[in-house]
Structure 1
Amino acid sequence: MPASTQDPSRHPSQQAPGTTRTPRDLRRWRQYLADERAEAAVYRDLAGRRTGEERAILLALAEAEGRHADHWLALLGPDVGRPRRGDVRTRILALLARRFGSVFVLALAQRAEARSDYATEADATATMAADERIHEEVVRGLATRGRNRISGSFRAAVFGANDGLVSNLALVLGVGASGVAHATVLLTGIAGLLAGALSMAAGEFVSVRSQRELLAASTPDPRAREVLPHLDVDANELALVYRARGMDADEAAEHAREVLEGLDAGGAASRGPGADAPPPVPPDDVDEHEAVGSAVGAAASSFCFFASGALIPVLPYLFGLEGLTAVLVACALVGVALLATGATVGVLSGASPLRRALRQLAIGFGAAGITYVLGLAFGTTIA
């Protein structure tokens, strides 16, 4: 039976005698083998930069990729041939894993797992296809921890860079299209850079600080733990706390009873105020403050990235270019930067880098184009 039509759940050792092994099949199996080995190496490299539970999870993923490699080894048998290298994307991922081991690499690994062909590959087992789907979720979970840690500053950085690129390009093009002198365009661009960077930094600081204060106002007061040992098991308001946080009446009453009985069983009376009692409200799985980030970090990221983004459309004018030449060079530089920021957002969010890059480019050039047309119209009116 040809390999392309055989039962996908059949193990290599269970294949019927006389199975066709075309050169094309052998090349495909060898590439799968090389990719699995390369992915296992990526997870081992990442594990080398982690400790504790994350390290154990990554090593388990490497072991699973090793099982998949064994499948292709058994299928190839004596035709395994010389060791091959993984595909280009896997090799780049391996290089990044050895050099950085960051959330960026985990995001790329998540994308790599999502691209698995095993669901439609006749020579891969159903178990292998299921493994790859689950691996994507495992890596997603690992990457989420890192995304939460950087989300506040990352949001400010992306927003700042994109705003600097688009707003200053629009400002420079709009003023330049009105026909003013080269020195005026340059001065306008530099003023826009400084004013925008300071405004963005101040806005991010106030925004993040306000959000953290709002979250803090909704976070359970740790001092409430101190009074738990003194509550009456039969008549207390602890159940009301749980009901206010979303539990139904019966569930809240049961949970309050379990908490207080647990305190009694542990000899809470001897602990006194400040004892290590269970919190009145179960902790959330995600640290909301961590996801928001720090006000100072967000402000600094916003200032630096806005300034760096706003500098790009001014560069042609700084180097003495004028007129249409300066406009074209500024647009080209900003276009490259918009593609880079969009692709970075796509990678870290687990989405398509190309689609995010093109979306960023279209939005940025759309806004700048409108401003340029208005500048042309304004310049014509003045003339």
Structure 2
Amino acid sequence: MSQTVQPTARDRRRWAQYLVNERAEARVYEALASRRDGEEKAILLALAEAEGRHEQHWLSLLGGEPQRLPQPDIRTRMLGALARRFGSIFVLALAQTAEARSPYDTEPFATPAMAADEKIHHEVVRGLAARGRRRLSGTFRAAVFGANDGLVSNLALVMGIGATGVSAQFVLFSGIAGLLAGALSMGAGEFVSVRSQRELLEATGPSDLADRAVPDLDIDANELALLYRARGLSEAEALVRAQRVLDAAHGADEARPVTGPVEVVDHELVGAAWAAAASSFLFFASGAIIPVLPWIFGLSGVAAIVLALVLVGVALMATGAAVGLLSGAPPLRRALRQLAIGFGAAAVTYVLGLVFGVSLG
């Protein structure tokens, strides 16, 4: 750290900006902590305390509280507003991105410990955000991708049908039919997928059948050891554990259940089948209705097509940004990617519709 160098006015302005940003980030973590309890609350408060230590560093360099301070940067102010109003996983995802952009690696007046703190903070916030993502993963995945599929597939459908030159009523009917067919297919498919996955996981979990059989086992045989070997223990470890359980079952020790290493069945990661199916159906339908709205309200021709593109474009960017926020990726980049994919599919079907329209005409 080069604190022996005489600071310039620009340096002091930069320190003041760091100071207000650290204060604002501490308030973000405190606001998030106020909406949580237990371990997550303690972790968030510890992060706020760490930001307070960084704040003191810049106060010390500035020689005390400056008379005038700048506003926190726009990203930190947005985080604070969201944390006070929502306290959701989206705020943690944004905070994760913000922590990854710490300037302290190249800041000569920041200590190595501060730069290291920011790297750890990024991983801590990533871990907290991952907890929320796991809780959301089942139904949220069905909801977001259901809506996106509805937007893209029905936009492509009405663009292709509309380009053939058929009547507005036929485009409307096709859009509604596409909505219902797609929503039912998505809901049914999601239900079967999630239910099958849950059944598969349940089939891999342990049962208590072995517990009831232990008292009748031959103490000199190794059937119980085979069970533990099947669950992942080495032969020596399995023999030791089996002997301990057999001794307990035959009165040498307090009885204990047959337990051993097994794959953890995390149903939170899979989600509930009916909830996932309902989310998939409703969100596909909510996405698929948007391209049809212009025709529902009586528009036709180029006006209907342009309005459908505008409405779907906004919705595609919203779903792309939401996925980007939750994954810790730049939301604008994800939003533009979703927009390009959706409009690309629509362009293909529109061109095909024009070709078929000309050939039919």
Contact 1:224 1:280 in 2 (8 A): no
Pair 1:196–1:68, CA change in 2 (3 A): same
SS in 1 for 2:29: helix
2:84 is equivalent to residue 106 of structure 1: no
The one-character-per-residue Cα deviations of 1:160-207 (angstroms, maximum 9, x if unpaired) are 111100110011011110110111111111111122112211111111
Following the alignment from structure 1 to structure 2, what is the Cα–Cα distance between the partners of residues 353 and 60? 28
1:58 is displaced (CA, Å) by: 0.9
Fraction of identical pairs, as percent:
66
SS in 2 for 1:212: helix
Among candidates 135, 148, 162, match of residue 176 of structure 1? 162
1:272 maps to which residue?
Answer: none
SS in 1 for 2:109: coil
Alignment of 1:1-383 (within 5 A): 6-7=1-2, 15-16=3-4, 19-78=5-64, 80-225=66-211, 235-253=221-239, 267-269=253-255, 277=257, 279-281=259-261, 284=264, 288-383=266-361
Gaps of 5+ in 1: 1-5, 8-14, 270-274
1:10 maps to which residue?
Answer: none
Contact 2:317 2:336 in 1 (8 A): yes
Following the alignment from structure 2 to structure 1, what is the Cα–Cα distance between the partners of residues 248 and 77? 54
Following the alignment from structure 1 to structure 2, what is the Cα–Cα distance between the partners of residues 170 and 365? 8
1:330 is displaced (CA, Å) by: 0.8
1:299 is displaced (CA, Å) by: 0.9
Following the alignment from structure 2 to structure 1, what is the Cα–Cα distance between the partners of residues 105 and 243? 49
The one-character-per-residue Cα deviations of 1:115-142 (angstroms, maximum 9, x if unpaired) are 1111121111111111111111111111
SS in 1 for 2:289: helix
**TM-score after normalising by structure 1:** 0.87
**TM-score after normalising by structure 2:** 0.92
Following the alignment from structure 1 to structure 2, what is the Cα–Cα distance between the partners of residues 51 and 262? 40
Contact 2:157 2:175 in 1 (8 A): yes
Following the alignment from structure 1 to structure 2, what is the Cα–Cα distance between the partners of residues 67 and 152? 39
Contact 1:243 1:249 in 2 (8 A): yes
Following the alignment from structure 1 to structure 2, what is the Cα–Cα distance between the partners of residues 320 and 32? 55
Pair 1:44–1:320, CA change in 2 (3 A): same
Following the alignment from structure 1 to structure 2, what is the Cα–Cα distance between the partners of residues 84 and 22? 17
1:264 is displaced (CA, Å) by: 9.3
1:250 is displaced (CA, Å) by: 4.3
The one-character-per-residue Cα deviations of 1:306-333 (angstroms, maximum 9, x if unpaired) are 1111111111112222111211111111
Gaps of 5+ in 2: none
The one-character-per-residue Cα deviations of 1:224-283 (angstroms, maximum 9, x if unpaired) are 4555677677754444344334444445555656777899999424xxxxx6x3632256
Q: Which amino acid aligns with 1:204?
A: E
SS in 1 for 2:72: coil
Contact 1:229 1:268 in 2 (8 A): no
Q: Which amino acid aligns with 1:58?
A: L
SS in 1 for 2:106: coil
Following the alignment from structure 1 to structure 2, what is the Cα–Cα distance between the partners of residues 263 and 122? 67
Matched pairs, number: 361
Following the alignment from structure 2 to structure 1, what is the Cα–Cα distance between the partners of residues 122 and 40? 15
Pair 1:79–1:106, CA change in 2 (3 A): closer
SS in 2 for 1:122: coil
1:149 is displaced (CA, Å) by: 1.0
Pair 1:265–1:347, CA change in 2 (3 A): farther
Following the alignment from structure 1 to structure 2, what is the Cα–Cα distance between the partners of residues 84 and 251? 63
SS in 1 for 2:58: helix
Following the alignment from structure 1 to structure 2, what is the Cα–Cα distance between the partners of residues 44 and 182? 55
Pair 1:262–1:79, CA change in 2 (3 A): farther
